[in-house]
Amino acid sequence: MARKQAKKEDNFKEFKFDGKEFQYTGRLYPESAVETDKSTRTPFSLTLNGLITIKGCWLWQTDKSSWIKFPEFKSGEEYKSYIYYPKELNDELGELLKVMEETLD
């Protein structure tokens, strides 16, 4: 009998964070992480208030810092983000980042 192979969709860790502006939920895919000498990039999807899902996000981690990278497109020689948000969300996204890192530990 053949063994059932696990799909990428089955290999995730879920997270949830209730911010002031949004309820954030999502899935991190640690088995699909890309590691280099200086950083680790873990793909994830992010859902806002259970309504809007953003796929193609990355959690970037180095020894010194971490950040969320949203999907981008190339415009000429530059890459531009598809996601724009007001600076007032920076603190909330920083808290979300902590929740995501704890989920990976």
* CA dihedral sign of residues 68, 84, 22, 47: negative
87 secondary structure, DSSP code: G
> How many CA atoms, within 13 angstroms, populate the side-chain half-sphere of residue 20?
8
Give a yes or no: residue 6 inside a domain.
Answer: no
Indicate whether 6 pLDDT > 90: no
Q: Tens digits of per-residue pLDDT, 34-60?
A: 999 999 999 999 999 999 999 999 999
Indicate whether 4 pLDDT > 60: no
Q: Tens digits of per-residue pLDDT, 64-99?
A: 999 999 999 999 999 999 999 999 999 999 999 999
Question: One-letter amino acid identity for 4?
Answer: K
Give a yes or no: residue 54 inside a domain.
Answer: yes
Residue range(s) defining the domain that contains residue 82: 12-104
CATH number of the domain where residue 72 is located: 3.30.1120.40
At residue 1, the pLDDT reads: 46
